[in-house]
């Protein structure tokens, strides 16, 4: 399932890039053929999802001694299954077969020397159906969970069951963030950067009604992700503004996680605190000895001054 989900995303990006290179984003035979492959992979993926949930429900019924598998179906379970199928079913669907002449697609009429800018709400139908396909990345998360040593280890799952701790994906996220914080945050930020950059490229247009270049999209995403916003590039469509808003929220969330990780990394452990306190105690003992020596020294000086003063008084008398 994970392979088919990621394959569909890659083919969707390739199909849209082919369409972006055409005038007025017209379909070509290549893009139409890729849509056919995407549809076939989507149908197979939905069938595998049905099979996965059927086996999952059967296994749950066996573990809990249910005679009828339908007794395990709850409203929440049914809603999650339907939502998962809807997420995986959305994809750019092939429409009518493109019948085009061999005329170059870059020939534009002479009366269109100054193209009319698209409206704020303009967005291609293939982009609308393509962007939700990134939600299929949850299949990658499921793949990671099922291949994790924490999930496969029977002893860890038994201990978790006895302590009423579910070894699920949320638990694995916490475990991996605790074990490899910088690696997890770097992977997450790079993934968001690549996906967000392409989404901005697909949604936004330049003044010539062409999609933004990938370089400008990356720069716009960096500005939004870091909440800097120089203002040299701004989203021109509602879709682009939505992607930018979501990127800003993810950037704030990532910054908070980074600060928490750095704070934890900068804290000293038990042995470092012991060594640090030991050094401070040694320095404090040295200061006390120095102060005690100074007190004794000044007491001798004061006694000498008193004796000298007394001798002077006797001489005067």
Whether 1 and 64 share a structural domain: yes
Question: Residue with structure tokens 């139908």?
Answer: 125
Whether 7 and 133 share a structural domain: yes
61 within 8 A of 72, measured Cβ to Cβ? yes
222 Cβ contact partners less than 8 Å away, ≥ 6 residues apart: 193, 228
Residue 158 maps to a domain: no
CATH of the domain at 260: 1.10.287.70
Whether 288 and 253 share a structural domain: no
90 within 8 A of 38, measured Cβ to Cβ? no
State both tokens at 229: 């916003």
pLDDT of 117: 65
Whether 217 and 289 share a structural domain: no
173: number of CA atoms within 13 Å, CB side?
A: 9
Range of the domain at 251: 191-267
State both tokens at 89: 């079913």
- Tens-place pLDDT, residues 167-218: 888 888 888 888 888 888 899 999 999 999 999 998 887 767 778 888 888 9
pLDDT of 87: 93
CA distance linking residue 170 with residue 23, whole number of Å: 45
Residue 103 maps to a domain: no
Whether 201 and 308 share a structural domain: no
CA distance linking residue 168 with residue 165, whole number of Å: 9
pLDDT of 46: 94
- Tens-place pLDDT, residues 58-96: 888 887 778 777 778 888 889 999 999 999 999 988 877
pLDDT of 84: 94
Q: What is the domain count for the chain?
A: 3
Whether 15 and 86 share a structural domain: yes
State both tokens at 316: 């005067």
pLDDT of 104: 43
CA distance linking residue 186 with residue 191, whole number of Å: 8
For each of the chain's 317 residues, which pLDDT tens digit applies? Answer: 889 999 999 999 999 888 888 766 567 788 889 999 999 999 999 999 999 999 988 888 887 778 777 778 888 889 999 999 999 999 988 877 666 543 444 444 444 455 666 677 777 888 889 999 999 999 998 898 888 888 888 777 788 777 777 788 888 888 888 888 888 889 999 999 999 999 999 888 776 777 888 888 899 898 888 888 777 778 888 888 899 899 999 999 988 888 888 888 788 778 888 888 888 899 999 999 999 999 999 988 888 888 888 888 877 76
What does R_g of the chain's alpha carbons equal in angstroms?
A: 34
Residue 69 maps to a domain: yes
In terms of residues, how long is the chain? 317
200 within 8 A of 127, measured Cβ to Cβ? no
Nearest-CA neighbor of 5 among 143, 186, 128?
143
240 within 8 A of 204, measured Cβ to Cβ? yes
């Amino acid at each position: 399932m994970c392979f088919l989900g990621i394959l569909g995303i890659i083919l969707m990006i390739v199909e849209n890039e082919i369409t972006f290179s055409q005038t007025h984003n017209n379909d070509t035979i290549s893009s139409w053929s890729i849509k056919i492959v995407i549809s076939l992979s989507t149908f197979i993926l939905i069938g595998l999802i049905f099979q996965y949930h059927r086996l999952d429900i059967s296994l749950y019924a066996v573990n809990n001694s249910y005679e009828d598998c339908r007794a395990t179906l709850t409203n929440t379970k049914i809603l999650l299954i339907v939502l998962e199928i809807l997420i995986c079913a959305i994809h750019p669907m092939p429409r009518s077969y493109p019948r085009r002449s061999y005329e170059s697609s870059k020939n534009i009429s002479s009366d269109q020397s100054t193209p009319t800018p698209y409206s704020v709400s303009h967005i291609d139908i293939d982009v609308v159906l393509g962007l939700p396909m990134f939600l299929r990345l949850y299949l990658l998360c499921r793949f990671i969970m099922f291949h994790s040593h924490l999930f496969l280890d029977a002893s860890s799952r038994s201990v978790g069951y006895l302590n009423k701790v579910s070894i699920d994906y949320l638990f694995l996220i916490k475990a991996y963030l605790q074990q490899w914080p910088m690696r997890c945050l770097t992977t997450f930020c790079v993934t968001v950067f690549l996906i967000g950059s392409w989404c901005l490229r697909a949604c936004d247009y330049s003044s010539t009604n062409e999609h933004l270049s990938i370089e400008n999209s990356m720069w716009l995403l960096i500005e939004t992700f870091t909440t800097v916003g120089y203002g040299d590039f701004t989203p021109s469509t509602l879709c682009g503004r939505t992607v930018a808003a979501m990127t800003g929220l993810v950037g704030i969330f990532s910054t908070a996680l980074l600060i928490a990780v750095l704070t934890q990394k900068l804290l000293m452990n038990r042995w470092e605190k012991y060594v640090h306190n030991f050094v401070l105690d040694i320095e404090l003992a040295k200061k006390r000895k120095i102060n005690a020596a100074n007190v004794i020294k000044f007491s001798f000086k004061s006694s000498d001054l008193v004796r000298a003063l007394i001798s002077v008084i006797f001489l005067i008398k």
